[in-house]
C-alpha cells in the first residue's frame, strides 16, 4: 500500500516536474504536490499508525483474551496494561494520525477542488492523479480504519467482556472493599494482601456472587433465545448497518473508483481527443491558412482591382481636371491672346488709320504748303517785273495732289503764260494802267473806220480838251452812255484804285477800237493775273478745306 502510494508520489513528482513549466500550472502543481506529499505522508503515517494501532489492538485483545482465559498473572496484566497502553497510545496516535491524515486529505481535496476550479487543462492529469491518489489513500485509510474498527469492535467485545469481568471484579472488589475497606479495591494486589477474614468475607461474598451469577445465568439461559434473537436482531441490524456502511463505503469507493476511472478515461479520451483535435485543428489551421491564403489572394486581387480602378478613376479625374484646367488656361490664354491680338489689330488699324490720316494730313499740309508757295510766288512780282514763273510751284502743287482730281484739274487750269513767264501783280497793272489811260484817252476816237492821222489829231485834241473824273465809281449796271471810253477809263481807274481788278478788266473790256487795241496787252495781262489768282485762290481754298478736313483737333 505504501509502495503504491510512493509510486504514485513519484508519478506525481514526474507530472508536477513536467507540469512545472507553466506558471499557474506550476503553482497549482506545486500546491498539489505539497498537499499530496503532506497528505501522503500523513496518510502513510496514519496508515502506519493505524496498522500499529491494529496490531496493538489485536495484541491487546489477544493479550486480554489470554489474560481473560488464562490465570491472572501480574506479568500478563502488566503486559496487558502495556498492551493496553500500547493500544491506547497506538490508537491515539492512530487517531491523531488519522485526523491529520483526514485533515491532509481534506486539504488535498480542497486543493484538488480549487485546482479543478481553475479549469486549467494541463493540470487535469495532475488533478486526476492527485484524485486517484487521494482516493487510494482514502481507500487504504478506510480499509485500515475498518480493519482497526473491526479489531476495535472485537477488542470492544473483548474489552466489554473484560469490562464486565472487571466490573464484576470491581463489584466484587467493592463488595470486598465494603467488607474490607482498608484494602485497596484493586484486584491486582489482591492476591498477597488479604487477611483470612477478608478471605472469608470474600469467599462468602464470592459464594453469594456465585449464587447470584448462577441465578443470572439461569435467567440468562431462559432468556437466551430472546437475547440471542435480540442479539441476532441487533447483530443483524448492526450487520446491516455495517453492511450498509460497508456497502456504502464500498459503493462510495467504487463510485469514486468509477468516477476516477471515468475521469481517467475522460482525461485519456480528452487527451486523445485533444491530440486528435490538435491534429484536426492543425489540419484545419493548415486548411484555414490555405483558405485564408487563397481568400487573401482573391481579396488581394479584388482589392488590387478596386484600388486600380479607384486609382484609374482618380487618375482619370485628375487627368480630366488637369486637362480641363489646362484647357481653361489655354482658353484663357487664347482669349487673352485674342483680345490682345484684337487690341493690337485695333491699335495697328488705329495707327494705320492715324498714319493714313497723318498721311492725308501731311498731303493736305503739303498741298497747302505748295499752294501757299504758289500763293507766295504770286507775291514775288515787283513793280513791272512779273512773278517768277509759276511752273515750279505749279509742279509742286501737281506733285502734292496726285489723288485729287479737282486739284489736278485746277493746277492744269493755270494759264501757260503764268506758268512759263509768271504774272504781273496788281500794283504793276495799276501802274501800267495809269500810263495806259492817257494813251487810251488819246486814241479814243480811233476805230476801224476812223483811223487816219487826222482822226488821230482829233482824238489827241479831244483828249487834251476833255476832262473827266479821274476816278468815278462805276454803277451797278452799265447803260449805253457809260460805254464812253473816258467814262470807262475813269470807272476802271476807280476800280483799280479800289483793288477790284476784275471789274476794271471787265470795264476795260468794253473799250472799242484803237483804245481797245492799245489796252489789249494790259487786258490780257490782267486776265492772266485774274485767272491765276482765281486758280490759286481756288487751290488755296481747296487746300484749306482739305487741311481743315484732315487736321484733328488737339
Partner 1 sequence: MADEHGRKWDRCLADTAVKTVTGLGVGIMFSVLFFKRRTWPVSLGSGLGLGMGYANCQHDFRSPYLIHGRVVKDQ
Residues that bind partner 1 (CB under 8 A): 432, 435-436, 439, 443, 446-448, 451-453, 456, 514, 517-522
Task: Cell numbers for 549, please give them.
Answer: 478736313
Is the CB of 174 or the CB of 512 nearer to partner 1?
512
Minimum CB separation of residue 527 from partner 1 in Å reads 13
Is the CB of 11 or the CB of 456 nearer to partner 1?
456
Report how far residue 444's alpha carbon sits from residue 229's, in angstroms, rounded to the nearest whole number.
226
Minimum CB separation of residue 511 from partner 1 in Å reads 12
In sequence order, what are the residues at sequence separation of 6 or more whose Cβ sits closer than 8 angstroms to the Cβ of residue 107? 35, 38, 39
Is the CB of 12 or the CB of 446 nearer to partner 1?
446
DSSP state string for 333-360? HHHHHHHHHHHHHHHHHHHHHHHHHHHH
Minimum CB separation of residue 467 from partner 1 in Å reads 22
In sequence order, what are the residues at sequence separation of 6 or more whose Cβ sits closer than 8 angstroms to the Cβ of residue 8? 40, 129, 132, 133, 136
Task: Cell numbers for 324, please give them.
Answer: 480641363
Report how far residue 478's alpha carbon sits from residue 333's, in angstroms, rounded to the nearest whole number.
83
Minimum CB separation of residue 447 from partner 1 in Å reads 8
Counts for the chain of helices (H) and strands (E), in that order = 15, 0
Report how far residue 31's alpha carbon sits from residue 286's, in angstroms, rounded to the nearest whole number.
38
* 129 neighbors 12 (Cβ within 8 angstroms): yes
Minimum CB separation of residue 462 from partner 1 in Å reads 16
Minimum CB separation of residue 517 from partner 1 in Å reads 6
Q: Distance between alpha carbon 104 and the CA centroid of its chain, in Å? A: 65
Is the CB of 172 or the CB of 522 nearer to partner 1?
522
Is the CB of 209 or the CB of 441 nearer to partner 1?
441
Give me the count of residues in the chain: 554
Minimum CB separation of residue 435 from partner 1 in Å reads 7
Return the residue matching grid coordinates 476805230. 447
Is the CB of 177 or the CB of 455 nearer to partner 1?
455
Report how far residue 16's alpha carbon sits from residue 32's, in angstroms, rounded to the nearest whole number.
8
Is the CB of 439 or the CB of 478 nearer to partner 1?
439
Amino acid at each position: 500500500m505504501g509502495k503504491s502510494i510512493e509510486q504514485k508520489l513519484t508519478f506525481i513528482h514526474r507530472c508536477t516536474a513536467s507540469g512545472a513549466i507553466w506558471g499557474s500550472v506550476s503553482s497549482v502543481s506545486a500546491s498539489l504536490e505539497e498537499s499530496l506529499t503532506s497528505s501522503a505522508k500523513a496518510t502513510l503515517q496514519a496508515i502506519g499508525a493505524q496498522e500499529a494501532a491494529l496490531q496493538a489492538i489485536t495484541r491487546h485483545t489477544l493479550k486480554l483474551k489470554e489474560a481473560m482465559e488464562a490465570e491472572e498473572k501480574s506479568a500478563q496484566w502488566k503486559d496487558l496494561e502495556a498492551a493496553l497502553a500500547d493500544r491506547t497510545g497506538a490508537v491515539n496516535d492512530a487517531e491523531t494520525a488519522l485526523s491529520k491524515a483526514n485533515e491532509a486529505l481534506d486539504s488535498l481535496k480542497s486543493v484538488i477542488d480549487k485546482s479543478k476550479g481553475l479549469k486549467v487543462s494541463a493540470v487535469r492529469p495532475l488533478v486526476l492523479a492527485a484524485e486517484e491518489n487521494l482516493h487510494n489513500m482514502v481507500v487504504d485509510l478506510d480499509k485500515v480504519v475498518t480493519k482497526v474498527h473491526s479489531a476495535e469492535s472485537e477488542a470492544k467485545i473483548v474489552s466489554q467482556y473484560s469490562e464486565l469481568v472487571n466490573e464484576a471484579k470491581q463489584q466484587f472488589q467493592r463488595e470486598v472493599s465494603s467488607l474490607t475497606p482498608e484494602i485497596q479495591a484493586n484486584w491486582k494486589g489482591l492476591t498477597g494482601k488479604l487477611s483470612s477474614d477478608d478471605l472469608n468475607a470474600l469467599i462468602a461474598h464470592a459464594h453469594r456472587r456465585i449464587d447470584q451469577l448462577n441465578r443470572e445465568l439461569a435467567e440468562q439461559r431462559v432468556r437466551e433465545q430472546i437475547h440471542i434473537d435480540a442479539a441476532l436482531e441487533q447483530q443483524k441490524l448492526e450487520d446491516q448497518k455495517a453492511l450498509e456502511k460497508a456497502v456504502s463505503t464500498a459503493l462510495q469507493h467504487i463510485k469514486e473508483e468509477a468516477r476516477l476511472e471515468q475521469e481517467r478515461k475522460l482525461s485519456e479520451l480528452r487527451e486523445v481527443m485533444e491530440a486528435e483535435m490538435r491534429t484536426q485543428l492543425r489540419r484545419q489551421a493548415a486548411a484555414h491558412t490555405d483558405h485564408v491564403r487563397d481568400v487573401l489572394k482573391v481579396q488581394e486581387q479584388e482589392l488590387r482591382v478596386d484600388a486600380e480602378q479607384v486609382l484609374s478613376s482618380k487618375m482619370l479625374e485628375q487627368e480630366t481636371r488637369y486637362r480641363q484646367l489646362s484647357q481653361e488656361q489655354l482658353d484663357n490664354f487664347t482669349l487673352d491672346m485674342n483680345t490682345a491680338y484684337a487690341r493690337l489689330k485695333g491699335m495697328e488699324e488705329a495707327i494705320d488709320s492715324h498714319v493714313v490720316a497723318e498721311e492725308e494730313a501731311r498731303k493736305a499740309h503739303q498741298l497747302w504748303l505748295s499752294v501757299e508757295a504758289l500763293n507766295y510766288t504770286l507775291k514775288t512780282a515787283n513793280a513791272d517785273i512779273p512773278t517768277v514763273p509759276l511752273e515750279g510751284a505749279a509742279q509742286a502743287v501737281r506733285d502734292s495732289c496726285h489723288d485729287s482730281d479737282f486739284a489736278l484739274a485746277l493746277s492744269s487750269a493755270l494759264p501757260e503764260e503764268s506758268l512759263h513767264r509768271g504774272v504781273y501783280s496788281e500794283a504793276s497793272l495799276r501802274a501800267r494802267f495809269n500810263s495806259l489811260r492817257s494813251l487810251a484817252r488819246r486814241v479814243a476816237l480811233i476805230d476801224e473806220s476812223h483811223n487816219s492821222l487826222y482822226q488821230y489829231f482829233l482824238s489827241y485834241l479831244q483828249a487834251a480838251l476833255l476832262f473827266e473824273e479821274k476816278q468815278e465809281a462805276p454803277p451797278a449796271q452799265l447803260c449805253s452812255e457809260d460805254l464812253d471810253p473816258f467814262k470807262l477809263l475813269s470807272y476802271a481807274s476807280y476800280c483799280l484804285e479800289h483793288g477790284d481788278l476784275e471789274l476794271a478788266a471787265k470795264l476795260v473790256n468794253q473799250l472799242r477800237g484803237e483804245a481797245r487795241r492799245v489796252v489789249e496787252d494790259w487786258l490780257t495781262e490782267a486776265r492772266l493775273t485774274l485767272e491765276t489768282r482765281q486758280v490759286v485762290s481756288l487751290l488755296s481754298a481747296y487746300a484749306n478745306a482739305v487741311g481743315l478736313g484732315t487736321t484733328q483737333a488737339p
